[in-house]
Amino acid sequence: MTNRRINKDVEGLQPKEEHRSFLKRAWHVFYLRPRNERIATQILTSHGYEVFCPSISKTKLWKNRQRKRIWFPLFPNYLFVFTYHHEIYTIRRISQVVNFVSFAGKPSTITEKEVDGIRKMLEMGNVISVENQFASGEHVRIVSGPLKGHEGILVKRRNKSRFGIRLKAISHSVFIDISQSDLEKL
């Protein structure tokens, strides 16, 4: 009788399925004050967090006709931090962070594969565009090249095929030009 009671107590200590997701690290999404991506990244990396703030460079023409290469964040006002669920409240205390992005009361996360796909798109050096609305298109998988194995959507614009990774957590899609021969339908 005592063994049954002990086993019952031990079963009660096991984390439930919904609590297990809080025990592992994930890429949490944070909303920042305008133009604070760089300083927030520096502060969080100095505290030991793994931070992902994708950025692209653009040439800007100043009034004095001088051209400069400037780095812009790919997702303005958003920052991705690889951390545990219980640490998001500590991160939120930083003055540059407005809040964490949540959906239905739960903190929003993006997958490791989505982060990896965005990193590979940036490394390719092609022109990258970001759109705030979801584009309708076919669901495809890349079969060759540096993005091999990634799944996303195919959109045709101006006679070009564009592959996109959809980030549902922040309602953005990242697109890159791609050849249709590198794709397969799902």
Residue 64 Cα distances to 41, 60, 71, 120, 177, angstroms: 32, 11, 20, 36, 33
User: Domains of the chain by range and CATH?
Assistant: 1-110 (3.30.70.940), 111-186 (2.30.30.30)
User: What local confidence, expressed as pLDDT, does residue 97 receive?
Assistant: 95
User: What local confidence, expressed as pLDDT, does residue 133 receive?
Assistant: 60
Dihedral, 100, 52, 115, 165 alpha carbons, nearest 10: 70
pTM listed for this prediction: 0.74
Tens place of pLDDT for every residue, the chain, 186 residues?
444 444 444 455 455 555 565 678 999 999 999 999 999 999 999 999 999 999 988 888 888 989 988 889 999 999 999 999 999 999 999 999 999 999 888 899 999 999 999 999 999 888 888 876 655 577 888 888 888 888 888 887 777 888 888 888 888 888 888 888 888 888
User: What local confidence, expressed as pLDDT, does residue 21 receive?
Assistant: 59
